Amino acid sequence: MRHGCKVNHLSRTHAHRVAMLSNMATSLIMHKRIETTLAKAKALRVYVEPIITRAKEDTMNNRRVVFSYLHSKEAVNELFREVSQKVAQRPGGYTRILKTGIRQGDNSEMCIMELVDYNENMLKEATTKKARSTRRGRGKKAETAAEAPVAETAVETPAAEEAPKAE
């Protein structure tokens, strides 16, 4: 029985699962986006987020610990040089899982897993998004529209009075 066991074994032995997650984490760090099944992506998120958190502080011990998980010098250098700079201000949640549908061969749910700070399309939408209004907000729109001309006339009136005085 698996009472309280929270690890998804993914129908693999321990050694196979650890090797697979290490390879997937290396690919995610190097390419910033990978396509995989939903179950593997959820398992990978638990595996890679503590590694990225450790990479925020560049010390020799942290590099050694991360290398023990990734087994790739290139991925460790990429993580500590570029990825850690982008996620320095983020308190967590470094990855995003986007569901893409089902795979035709075996009907498994597929998804794209990516590092959050590297998706330019999502970053552009976040900066250009307007404040949403609700139906209750209609009265406020009418008030602000009524206040705007009053403010403009108040500014124009002193200028109109100064012009005749100058002549």
pLDDT in tens, 31-44: 999 999 999 999 99
pLDDT of residue 142: 54
pLDDT of residue 147: 58
Percent of the chain topping pLDDT 90: 65
Indicate the pTM of the whole model: 0.72
Residue 98 pLDDT greater than 60, yes or no: yes
- The residues, any chain, with a CB within 8 Å of residue 115's CB and separated by 6 or more, are 28, 29, 32, 33, 83, 86, 87, 94, 95, 96
Mean pLDDT across 105-117: 96
Type of residue found at 51 = I
Residue 142: both structure tokens together: 């009418």
